[in-house]
Structure 1
Amino acid sequence: MKFSRSKWLSFVFIFILATQTLAAGIAYAADEISKLVLNKNEIILQVGDTANLTATAIYVSGATETATVKADWSSGTADIASVYAGVVTAKKEGKAVITATYMGKTEIVNVTVTKKVKSLTKDKQSLDLRLDATYQLNIKAYYDDGTSEDVTSKADYTIDASSVVSVTNGLVRGQSPGSANVTIKYMNQSLTLPVDVEVVRRIDAKKSQVSLLTNGTEKVELIATYPDGTTSDVSEKAVWTTDKEKVADAIKGTIKGYGVGRATLTASYGTKSTTITVDVDNALKLDLNTQNLLLKKDATGTLTLTATYADASTEAEKTKDVSALAEWTSEDTDIVEVSGGKLIARSIGETVISAKYGEKTVKVIVDVEVPRRLVVDEDTLSLKTGDEHALTLRATYADGTTEIVTDRAEWTVDNDSVAYVTKGTVKTYKAGGVNVTATYGGKTTTTKVEVDIPTLIKPSKKIVNLQIGGSDQLKLTAIYKDGREEDVTGKAEWTTSSKEIAEVRSGDITGIDTGTATITAKYGTRTAVVQVSVGVLKSLTISQEKLVMKKGDAVTLTATALYTDETSKDATSDVIWTSSNPKAASVDAGKVKALASGEATLTAQLDTKTVTISVQVDMASDLTANVSSLVFDLNETRSIVLTATDSLGATRTVTNEAEWKTSSSTVATVAKGVVTPVARGKATIIAAYGGKSVTIPVEVGVIQALEADTTYISTKSGSHVQVKLTATLSDGTTKDVTSSATWKVSSYKLGTVSDGLFTATSSGKTTLTASFGGKTVSIPVEIDTLKYLKTDVVKVELREGKSAEVEALATYTDGSEFDVTKPALWTSSNILVADVKDGIIKATGKGTAKITVSYSNMKTTVVVTVTK
């Protein structure tokens, strides 16, 4: 029996399918499903709307699997709500039950389908209530089938200030003075109702400033003025606050002083407030018995603080010693400690003592043995090796007294290999220089010590000129501070900058090769240098410095070389001659030929010396135009006259002979000096003749400035903002170019613009750009920009199966606030612990989940903990 190829392939396919089915059956058998969880158990839809359901299988082992597509979905009433792969579609008004089945587990979802709400209306656009007054709203819904219904009791009501008003089934009650917004929502439609309760036009205190003694009181009237013009004392009804509760506070309009100082009280009633300044036991001025105090270390001192008051009964001033009542501080307690005005000097130094009483503070400087001046008896010393010398240090204090502090000062040297110092006595070890520093009371002074150091060393020659092989013996003399001189030629250290050019031994210099070198002699800390030249060319000169020639002329130049030994010779044939512009002028062995109009630089080079000569052939020495700039508008022309001056000083008009160019032919063109405008803008006219050129800036109808009447736009979706654009022309006049300018919005999804009228279409940030006459103005735009997003709670604890309602409040940059609980997007980090919809959190299982609220590009979170 033979198998065909197709039968054989079919057999293999059946075998593989059977193997996979068997393996799958074994896997499922080994991991039994525990339960099936749906993301929602109840849905409310309007006709035509859809909703997505998801199914998650949880196995006995703890593993999970997304089973939305694998599950069997069915609707008990498909004509009301149908379902396919978890997607529920609302067909008509009514109720339906959606069933999901997977691996023997079944879950249901109750679906309510309502008619689609087209719009909502309210019978009042705003309310103005008195305290405890009520008003019954009438809310009506209009459906897309043309019917309507009173939904006052069915609608949801939210309030942005629940302490001001309350709403129950549309009945609005005024609870406390203030303003609130009531948001009315039914299905997919919402309305906003502004409510004012007991709103006053203004409140005024009978006294704006009160002065009290400690524990004194005073009753202040607070007058509220209502919109109808009536007034009332609301001091006992208002909310009183203070910025300094330890100084003064108020209860029901009675102000009481508690402590020394100044406080600001704020009285608020409804949306209005006013302030009262309260001074308690406040002194006019504070005085210390001294402004500067000098103490010795470990000594004590006393400061007295006097407060001056205004005596209201006698209208005179009185004083009081408040040293014990003041707050005393020291900027540095390591130097001076202070308590109740009593001072203890702890260490040498200077600090500031402050005394504070009430709102006033005075300060005094305390000096503890701080020298104003520190002087050493010698600024410089010249010693020999092995010498000792004692220095004397004196300190002068603020009171003018002086004392010797040599033994108390700190002495240091910057090079102890040269000298050492102990209590002002300097001992030298070897030749060199050192700085001896004395420090006392924060002051320092320095003495410069020189050991066996001459004032200077002087060579017998500073410049030596030699030929190759020649030599010269120098003498080096050291001159000391005391005037004595010493030949230190053999003692000094001699070096050369180039052994290939010159050598030196004990001052004897020998020329090795052509060039220059520097010979350095060093003795102690002093150095001297000698410049050496060996067979060096000193200078190169040319017979003429400048040539002015005509085409066809010829001139012969002569080069002369001068050497360091003062000898000279004709070096014309030895020089290397070059021309920077051989087309204008050539040079050969000193002979120069003028070939064409232009300029050239001739270079003569011999050894390291170079000389340059400028050559002009038929060149203008100056070129001028009759105008320095041109400013005109379209449809006009201007003429430029060009004058050239030659090297002999003669002038002539070369307008027609010059070469004319324009930097922008799209703005202006030029021919033989006549400038013709083409378009608005700026250009530069260039005229060239005889190696010279002039430039004339040209402006054709140039816009100098472009300004918008606003620099920033903050608006909301659906709003319109008109921007006016003004152009300033080059002559200083202005005109409205709003309709002539080119307008653009950087993000077309956020808004549109036409003739400066900007229409916001979506939330976000963009830029409005206007262009005219080469100028551009950019205006930043913010639409529906939030300042922050917050929820009324940040943590929720629930038992499994329970639910909680959370509100989300959005605050915009203009300060307005809106309840966005419904329009916001609510998501759960773990729907097996907590599910959420429109702020309603349902606990589905034990654990912790994070609820995220998103609205207008901002997010905030609520942590949910679920227990059994």
Structure 2
Amino acid sequence: MVKRKMTGWLLMLTLLLTTILPHGAMAATGDLKSIAIDGEGTTLEMTVGGSKEIKVWGTFEGSTGTQDLTNTANWSSSDNSVVTVVKGTLTAIKVGTATIRADYNSATSSITVIIKESHKELKLEYSSEGKYSLDAEESDLAVKALVTSVLDGAGTSKDTDVTKDATWSSSDTSVLTVEKGQLTLVGEGTATVTAKYAGLTETFKVTVILPYSKLELQYTPNGTTETAEDLELVVGDELQVNAQSTHTDDKDSKTDVTEKATWSTSDSSVVTVEKGKIKAVGLGKATVTATHLGVTAKTDVYVRTPYEVIIVNPSADQSMFIAEQIDAEARMRSGANRDDNVTSVAEWTSSNLLVATVSDGKIVARAAGSATIKVSHMGISKSIKVTVYPTVTALKAEKTKLELFKGDSSSLPKITATKLDEEELDVSDIVKWTSADESIAKIENGKVVAVAKGTVTLTAKLPSLAGTGLSVRDSEISVTLEVTEKVLTLLSDEEKLSVVIGEETKLPAITAVWEDGEEGDVSATVEWTLSGSNSVIKTSATGKTIKGLTKGSATLKGTFSNKTISIPVTIEQKITKIVVNPTSIELNLKKSKSIKVTGFYSNGKTVNLSSKMGWESSNPEVATISSTSVKAVALGTTTLTGSYQGHKASINVSVVAKLSKVTVDEKSLVLPPGSAKTVVLTAEYDTGSKATVTGSAVWTSSKPSVAKVTGGKIEAVAKGSTTIKAVYGGKTVTIRVSVK
């Protein structure tokens, strides 16, 4: 029971100590090691009249934390007239420096405290009540900033100039700017000037007025002063213009401000201006402006030139080699008759002096590259481009022979030059080409154009130089051009070829027809190709042939000049004989009939050759043949001939008119016995023609005992009736005969 009471008292004591002891007191388990004031080793700054609390902390043996000793430590100040301290609370008394010290047991800690004056007020001192003319003197534009500071608790104070340390600003920089208290007036208007220092701010309003109401530009031609408006000058002229200002408070009072005004030009390539002196330097229009203390005056200046153009010779862009020189010339022209040489007085410039230099028209190539040479005089200029190439010693053409068809064109051969390091330089764009005969070929737009059939020499040469050039410029390169007619078409003596396996067949003969109508056998120069692997082209002493290898088909192509001809080729076994059906044909006009041709191989097998015979008609005006069908065109006869693998065949064709009908001149007869009568039988054809065919018809009598007939002659035998019939070409006609 006693132990329980003791335990309870211990718990209550612990809670009580935790509540009343300072922070960290319970952490102390051993002797004090050290104490430290907040900010120990630094300097603390305060202002007069201010107060601040600082703490001191203790560190004990065996503890990782610190204990707040602020209320139990002994505090002291080295100068209580400057700053006092009570339980860590500092009070600033007056300006000065003191050391604040805290002691606890045998431990000590201190900090230095500096007491500064307290700023009470910021004041600005300025002149003219803040109203200034734009031409005010600099000394009148100085503003002073004073800060009033409290030195001690008794209220002792002083003013300090902080103009250089304050922060200055203007509410409108188009009116004025301010820096370290110095105002710079910019233009008419009102602005607020603000100064800031140590948390204090002060402002004042500034009004800027213009000293002048206007500015006028004047010049004096022929001793008379005139307003400078729309001035006209010639390139090279100079004109003095003066700036006169009118005072704001006295309109009758004027001041010459030419030297003080700010002058500018809208285009310095036309006119320049300095302190009112205008100089015309180039053709065009520019505006000259004078500005002084807020007022501005302008005048337009029109600059003309006594010349119209400047001409440079050479006028085209130039290609040069290193160390070459060109003696260029510049001439000015005005009108038809005025022509002045200005080479020596004009201004010559080079855009790249490393590549080319120029002086008084002499252009010297210095290094490979390009530069623009410009010559200017009296506002007019002209430029030429100069391209500089490395030094070369010889020229060479990529091709020395060309072939073209008439009417065609082609790029000219590539021309190269040999450099000093033996490497090649492409000079194709530099050389100039000429044709020895422009009726055959001419040079146009960097190409050669073939005009007519023939042979002509084309010559390439570097252009001559208006100055000192390399010897290679005297070299010439010649190229021979052969101009031929274009081939209109190629004709073959064989439309198709049949080649027997294992045998050789001659290539067809080819005739070329040119566009000018000329023809020629070109068989020997045709380039032949053969598709597939069923056959092959062979060359022998007697010429080229096709040898059949395996059954199949191929295409034989022959190329000559600009044309190609294709001939189908069939490769097959050898035919031993052919049979044609029919062997003769009779046709009416416009009628057709098919022809069948059967071929027999050596093994007994057959093949239809109807479309392979290559039939031809000896008289196409009578009958034509197309593949396997013959068509009658006109009355007459013709012979069809064809062959295959050397087997020839022929068919006789007769074209006859078609019989429309037959008529007889007597339809009925009455004859006495023993008498006779000959009738006439007429055939009428689809052509409209007629023919007597009495003797060609077949005549019969239904009762020969009454009357008989022979070749149209009817003989009466005995009384009675009979019918006489005549048949011709499948047509029949009858005659009734009575014998009385």
TM-score (norm 2): 0.29
Q: Which structure has more RCO (C-alpha within 8 Å, separation ≥ 6)?
A: 2
TM-score (norm 1): 0.25
